[in-house]
Amino acid sequence: MEAATEVIPKVKRKAKQKWMTEEILNLMEERRCAKGNKEKYEQIHKKVQEKCNMSKENWINEKCKEIEKQRKHAPQTMYRNIEEITGKRTFLSTGCIKAMNGDIIIDKEKILERWAEYIRELFKDDRKDHNIMKNNFAGSLIMKEEIETAIKKMKHGKAIGPDNISVELIEMLIR
């Protein structure tokens, strides 16, 4: 048994939470060892709870200070820190969509074709009394180049709007 303890390295404990300190981990180990003695266990448990609460509060305060500093200069980092504090995760797209028949499409070209098909279907108009607007516009027509320029000026990595369409998706559609 002694040979095994000498040869096999001890596994280093990992904190389950980012705010946990080595002191808290040591107290937790001590508490685990004191399970047979109820009074000692409860006393150590109380210490663990106090240390955890203090450590978590300090960690959140530090993160909040970082977020305030990053508000103007690093918004992406700021939002990552907010997600870290709140525990809410935003999941990125999986890179695949379903075809009309339910099959999963992974190929980028086929995904773009499916989006084009979806948009055509979405805006398809089969009404019989289809009134086409006359060219009585009060201003000049919007040119394709103007739209492409506006899309190119859009910043990447921004939060999606109420339409749930990202800048990256719009750029893929105009290619």
Whether 46 shows a pLDDT value over 90: the answer reads yes
Who contacts 164 (Cβ-Cβ below 8 Å, separation ≥6)? none
Whether 119 shows a pLDDT value over 80: the answer reads yes
- Which range (6-10, 87-91, 96-100, 165-169) has the least confidence? 6-10
Q: What is the identity of the amino acid at 169?
A: L
Going by pLDDT thresholds of 50, 70 and 90, the confidence category of residue 48 is very high
**The pTM of the whole model exceeds 0.75:** no
CB 52 within 8 A of CB 24: yes
Going by pLDDT thresholds of 50, 70 and 90, the confidence category of residue 55 is very high
- Which range (19-28, 116-125, 161-170) has the least confidence? 161-170
**Token pair for residue 115?**
């989006």
Whether 174 shows a pLDDT value over 90: the answer reads no
Distance CA 109, CA 54 (A): 53
CA quadruple 101, 103, 105, 110: dihedral positive or negative?
negative
* 124 DSSP assignment: -
CB 58 within 8 A of CB 19: yes
**How far is C-alpha 51 from the geometric centre of its chain's CA atoms?**
30
Strand partners, 104: 98
Percent of the chain that is helix, strand, coil (3-state, to 5): 55, 0, 40
Strand partners, 97: 105
Distance CA 88, CA 70 (A): 19
- List the one residue out of 143, 47, 160 whose CA is nearest residue 169: 160
